[in-house]
Amino acid sequence: MLVVALLQDSFLLRLIEAVKAIRGTVIRATDWSHMHQLLQDRPVTMAIVDPSPDSGLGLNAVKEIAGLLHRFPSTPILAYTHLTSEGVRSLSYLGRHGLREVILYQYDDSPLRLGRLLVRASSHGIVSRVRRGLQGNLSALPVDIAQAVDDLFQRPHAYTSGYDLVLASRAPKASLHRSVQQAGLAPPRQLFVGARIAHAATYLRDPGTRIQDVAVKLGYRHSYVMTRHTMLALGVRPSSLRHVEGQERLSDDEIVARLLTWVQQVGADDGPDDDDMDVGEEEVYEV
């Protein structure tokens, strides 16, 4: 879990304690411009900000947060604030712009409660639905392999190929292939592609997001490789997933269904060995 925060020190310290407990990382944004840059360039799980007038984040904090809610709908934005009359007015305004989660300082932010809230808030959208759809398959895997596959779908940017599942699971390559096949899953390379495209489909929902920006965020050296993976896994180009006013796009339901079909194609991958699976080379992804 990667959390970006724009908060005063007292709030930030409590947040860091809670995020560490769930094995996540906090990056402190220095200002609103930096926050926008992080959300655009990094695979952020969620952003946490304080909309209250006394937060020290400037008089336009509420409008800045409303802008984040509209520009980055794929990323949960949480408000972390004091319970004051001014704060309530700010939250009411932001609620009309899509704010759904609020944390009250020194009220419901004990490390345990805050950690549970963060985990719940991150469980949304296409990626979470795909992960839930794979729970039956994961339960049939050895524990170390199941954890590695689930981690791949949580943070595919941390993997450079399907072969990294061998390293993450600490299982011999032949055992890994045999285990995923017996659990009703596609080979590691195909799981790798499916995990990345699940996140790509989510990020491409954000208005104005460029395909090349999403490719960089997910670790691709070339955006055309992500385009090829999208066509393999979903049967459409990335442009069919983007938020474009007046243009019909593939629905979330259809994306989830196609991704689950893709990653549950047992034995479908007859291409080159996973050892050769570098994300910068398109030709090694022939399926």
pLDDT, tens only, 29-52: 988 899 999 988 888 888 999 887
pLDDT band at 279 (very low <50, low <70, confident <90, very high): very low
Distance CA 259, CA 185 (A): 12
Distance CA 63, CA 32 (A): 11
Residues 6 or more apart from 30 whose CB is under 8 A from it? none
Distance CA 267, CA 53 (A): 57
In the chain, % of residues over pLDDT 90: 29
The string of pLDDT tens digits covering residues 199-228 is: 999 888 888 788 888 898 888 888 899 999
Is 280 a residue whose pLDDT tops 50?
Answer: no
More confident residue, 232 or 23: 232
Domains delineated in the chain: 2-122 (3.40.50.2300), 125-285 (1.10.10.60)
Query: Helix, strand or coil for residue 261?
Result: helix
pLDDT of residue 124: 64
The string of pLDDT tens digits covering residues 81-98 is: 887 777 777 788 888 888
Structure tokens at 44: 């952020």
**DSSP annotation string for 198-260:** HHHHHHTTSTT--HHHHHHHTT-S-HHHHHHHHHHHHSS-GGGTS--TT-----HHHHHHHHH
State the average pLDDT for the chain: 82
pLDDT band at 139 (very low <50, low <70, confident <90, very high): very high
pLDDT of residue 119: 79
Is 137 a residue whose pLDDT tops 90?
Answer: yes
pLDDT of residue 112: 82
Distance CA 262, CA 232 (A): 8
More confident residue, 251 or 233: 233
